[in-house]
Amino acid sequence: MKVKLNVKRFDPEKGSRVYFQKYEVDMDDQATVLDALIHVREYVDPTLAFRCSCRSAICGSCGMRINGMAGLGCKTKIFQVAPNGEEINVEPMGNMKVLRDLIVDMGMFWDKIRAVEPWLQPTGPEPEREHIVPNQAMIDLTVAMNCIMCGSCVSDCTVMEVDKSFLGPAALAKAYRFVDDPRDGHTEERIEKYSKPGGIWDCTHCYFCVQVCPKDVAPMDRILDIREAALNAGIKNNNGSRHSDSFANSVKISGWLDEGRLAVESHGYTNIPELLPLIPVGLRVMMAGKMPSPIHHKRPGSKYVKQLFEKLEG
Amino acid sequence: MVKYAFYTGCVSKGGAPELYQSITAVAPKLGLEFEELEGAACTGAGVLTERNEELADTLNARTFAMAERLNLPIMTICSTCQGVMSQANHRLKTNPGYLQRVNQHLAVEGLKYNGTATVKHFMWFLAEDYGLTNLQSKVVRPLTGIKLAAFYGCYVLRPTKDLEYDEHPERGEYLDQIISALGGVPIDYSGKTKCCGFPILTMNEKNSVTMSGNHMMEVKELGGEAMVTPCPLCHLSLDGYQPQAGKIKNVQIGMPIIHLPQAVGLALGIPPQTLGLNKHIVSTASFVGRVRS
């Protein structure tokens, strides 16, 4: 099978030029993108730089962007991304500084992982032997524990693209692993910490991390799990949880969303500095001739919606 | 005529009434008949799902049961509604025990979801059922030569496993294909499949409008004359908060943001006012003028 690669190159020792280089190699039908890159490095161009180790989607070394989406080179079969012999674009991961060719500086990635304190912090006297926990309590954690720290989710995170202070999907998925661990004794402090700016409420629901994660950790879902834990723990002094409460309350009462109320309640009725900028927004909406009615009518059957909320939310 | 149970979503009845106005103007031109699901609740837009998945899925199962009762497929006009409903439907259809429990909740209202509902975004309908060639043949006022940037909205793009991409692998390209069918020139740009920033507007406005500003500036630099979106939440972000995005970028962006049914309606010869093109925060006059000329 002929494989055409178009690889993004950069060598700081040769200046700041970034360019694409094309390679064409013969590979067997089951070859992966990493196999093709190794072939290039071994037999065509020894200057091509990339990280790899296990070739089995275990070590997490070969994160890269393949046709615009982050993933593992060793887990991506050529026939999946180029079924008709198309050229395959290979680039370094995003949101991290490129050191050379496909190698990125993972320093920021590890800083964020460390920032969530990814170790057990039990309280109380140490057990005589090991901590005993029910199997069921650990099953939910196994998803988050599947993370191999490849950086794919961080690479394609749309929030980190505009704000490097965001803890990001990998670190927050790791954070969930400890929030949900029954052996940990600092759950509330952890949630408080992760609820601060740059934490759980800054995720946009864009699903990029869910889509690209090669181990089905679904980091965004883990972030949402921490949000649920925050709401349940009553850690609500932030716009994110106020937004969530207002949204739910609006649907509970009327069956649908009261957008005007949501905008105000998310900031808080007494948060004047954040409420003032809403005035020009409202004026522009009014001038466009589409100011929603100040009376938010109930949808037909809304009493049943309310009953469902009362039954399932308590 | 093809009949659908029409799910309007909250925003087309609230902050973006021009979307409702335009879809109801376009529908008869395409032989679409709507039975509006007036009693259907909000999908939860992902916010309710993260609070309480079973509650959110029950609200959506309630909507599905209403459509089943009418024996009609559901049509949506919002990427977010579509994505949330697709995900809920997937969970309900693949877990019989869960569906049974959800049905117990619905029994009070005399409703039952049998797991047969189909939910289809207007954009998917155009490409998969109506057909792009058919659409092209109905165009009387082509958007010839107008450079248009598709902006899809996350929920109709990811996660692909819940959105039947295996069966319809081109769903991530439909909007560009529709723009072409209407005579326009679709622009390829990196922001096309990214987030508009809307979900964090009230949590972190700076990040939110930086995202939308980046996309609009990219389109502007590529010569784009307007952006087209099938998601009213993206529209609120790109149109409603464009002045704030411009402030961050230190420039007046001036990018018209067009709802998909408005673009279709204009090409089908419907007057701009009927499509609510006069009800935008950022003037659509430059785009409308180009279509007229």
* Residue after which a domain boundary falls, among A232, A262, A287: A232
Cα distance between residue A6 and residue B159, in whole Å? 27
Q: Do A299 and B55 touch (CB under 8 A)?
A: no
Measured in degrees and rounded to the nearest 5, phi and psi for residue A58 equal -115, -40
Q: Do B10 and A280 touch (CB under 8 A)?
A: no
Measured in degrees and rounded to the nearest 5, phi and psi for residue B66 equal -60, -40
Q: Are residues A218 and A161 in the same domain?
A: yes
What is the pLDDT averaged over residues B114-139? Answer: 98
Q: Are residues A218 and A206 in the same domain?
A: yes
What is the pLDDT averaged over residues A34-42? Answer: 98
Domain that holds residue A65: 2-104
Cα distance between residue A52 and residue A75, in whole Å? 12
A21 contacts chain B (CB < 8 A):
no
Looking at the complex, report in whole angstroms how far the Cα of residue A291 sits from the nearest Cα belonging to chain B.
Answer: 7
Of A63, A174, A58, A157, the C-alpha closest to A112 is: A174
- The kind and range of the H/E element at A219 are helix A219-232
* Residue after which a domain boundary falls, among A232, A263, A286: A232
Q: Are residues A167 and A201 in the same domain?
A: yes
Q: For residue A46, is pLDDT > 70?
A: yes
> Looking at residue A127, what is its pLDDT?
87
Cα distance between residue A47 and residue A50, in whole Å? 10
- Cβ(B41)–Cβ(B257) under 8 Å? no
Q: Are residues A117 and A222 in the same domain?
A: yes
| Residue B117 buriedness (CB in 10 A; 0-12 / 13-18 / 19+) | buried
Q: Are residues A35 and A16 in the same domain?
A: yes
Cβ neighbors of B95 (< 8 A, separation 6 or more) are none
- Cβ(A167)–Cβ(A197) under 8 Å? no
Q: For residue B101, is pLDDT > 90?
A: yes
> Looking at residue B58, what is its pLDDT?
98
b/e string for B180-190 if b means 16 or more Cβ within 10 A? ebbbbbbbebe
Q: What angle do helix axes A302-313 and A239-254 make, rounded to 10 degrees?
A: 130
* Residue after which a domain boundary falls, among A232, A254, A281: A232
Task: Report the residue of B84, B154, B189, B204 to disrupt the A interface, i.e. the one with the largest count of A CBs within 10 Å.
Answer: B204
> Looking at residue A230, what is its pLDDT?
97
Measured in degrees and rounded to the nearest 5, phi and psi for residue A219 equal -50, -40
> Looking at residue A152, what is its pLDDT?
98
CB-side neighbour CA atoms (13 Å) of A43: 10
Kindly calculate the radius of gyration of chain A based on its CA atoms and give it in whole angstroms: 24
pLDDT tens sequence across A65-105: 999 999 999 999 999 999 999 999 999 999 999 999 999 99
Q: Residues A143, A144, A147, CA angle at the centre, nearest 5°?
A: 105
Q: What is the ipTM of this complex?
A: 0.94
Nearest Cβ partner of B52 from A159, A166, A313?
A313
Q: What angle do helix axes B96-106 and B79-94 make, rounded to 10 degrees?
A: 110
Of B47, B40, B57, B62, the C-alpha closest to B91 is: B57
Percent of chain B with pLDDT over 90: 99
Looking at the complex, report in whole angstroms how far the Cα of residue B63 sits from the nearest Cα belonging to chain A.
Answer: 11
Q: For residue B22, is pLDDT > 70?
A: yes
Cα distance between residue B83 and residue B159, in whole Å? 9
- What rounded mean pLDDT belongs to chain A? 95
Percent of chain A with pLDDT over 70: 100
Of A115-129, A186-200, B116-130, B237-251, the poorest mean pLDDT is in A115-129
Q: Are residues A120 and A220 in the same domain?
A: yes
Q: Do B203 and A312 touch (CB under 8 A)?
A: no
Q: For residue A126, is pLDDT > 90?
A: no
Structural domain count of chain A: 3
What is the pLDDT averaged over residues A160-171? Answer: 97
pLDDT tens sequence across B235-274: 999 999 999 999 999 999 999 999 999 999 999 999 999 9
Between the alpha carbon of residue A186 and those of residues A173, A179, B67, the distances in Å are 17, 8, 47
What is the pLDDT averaged over residues A171-185? Answer: 96
Between the alpha carbon of residue B288 and those of residues A110, B90, B278, B293, the distances in Å are 50, 40, 10, 9
* Chain A residues closer than 8 Å to B204 by CB: 163, 197, 201-202
Q: For residue B127, is pLDDT > 70?
A: yes
Q: For residue B292, is pLDDT > 80?
A: no
What is the pLDDT averaged over residues A45-67? Answer: 97
SS3 for B183-219 is CCEECCCHHHHCCCCHHHCCCCHHHHHHHHHHHHHHH
**β B147-150/B185-186 pair status:** parallel
Q: For residue A140, is pLDDT > 90?
A: no
Give the CA dihedral B179, B181, B182, B183, nearest 10 degrees. 90
Q: Do B160 and A211 touch (CB under 8 A)?
A: yes
Give the CA dihedral A36, A37, A38, A41, nearest 10 degrees. 120
Q: Are residues A193 and A113 in the same domain?
A: yes
- Cβ(A61)–Cβ(A52) under 8 Å? yes
* Chain B residues closer than 8 Å to A155 by CB: none
pLDDT tens sequence across A260-288: 899 999 999 999 999 999 999 999 999 99
- What rounded mean pLDDT belongs to chain B? 97
What is the reported pTM?
A: 0.95
A33 contacts chain B (CB < 8 A):
no
Return the number of other C-beta atoms located less than 10 Å from residue A146's C-beta: 15
Q: Are residues A227 and A248 in the same domain?
A: no
Q: Are residues A40 and A119 in the same domain?
A: no
Cβ neighbors of B10 (< 8 A, separation 6 or more) are A256, A257, A259, B42, B45
Between the alpha carbon of residue B56 and those of residues A252, B53, B83, B109, B153, the distances in Å are 11, 5, 13, 16, 21
CATH of the domain at A163: 1.10.1060.10
Percent of chain A with pLDDT over 90: 90
CATH of the domain at A33: 3.10.20.30
The single-letter code of the amino acid at B12 is S
- Cβ(B155)–Cβ(B83) under 8 Å? yes
Q: Are residues A148 and A210 in the same domain?
A: yes
> Looking at residue A76, what is its pLDDT?
98
Q: Do B14 and A257 touch (CB under 8 A)?
A: yes
Q: Are residues A122 and A226 in the same domain?
A: yes
- Cβ(B84)–Cβ(B45) under 8 Å? yes
Cis status, amide bond into B159, omega within 30 of 0: yes
Nearest Cβ partner of A162 from B39, B62, B207?
B207
Q: For residue A294, is pLDDT > 90?
A: no
Return the number of other C-beta atoms located less than 10 Å from residue A77's C-beta: 15
Q: Are residues A111 and A208 in the same domain?
A: yes
Q: For residue B293, is pLDDT > 70?
A: no
Nearest Cβ partner of B280 from A159, A288, A308?
A288
Cα distance between residue B224 and residue B210, in whole Å? 19
Task: Report the residue of A81, A157, A158 to disrupt the B interface, i.e. the one with the largest count of B CBs within 10 Å.
Answer: A158
Percent of chain B with pLDDT over 70: 99
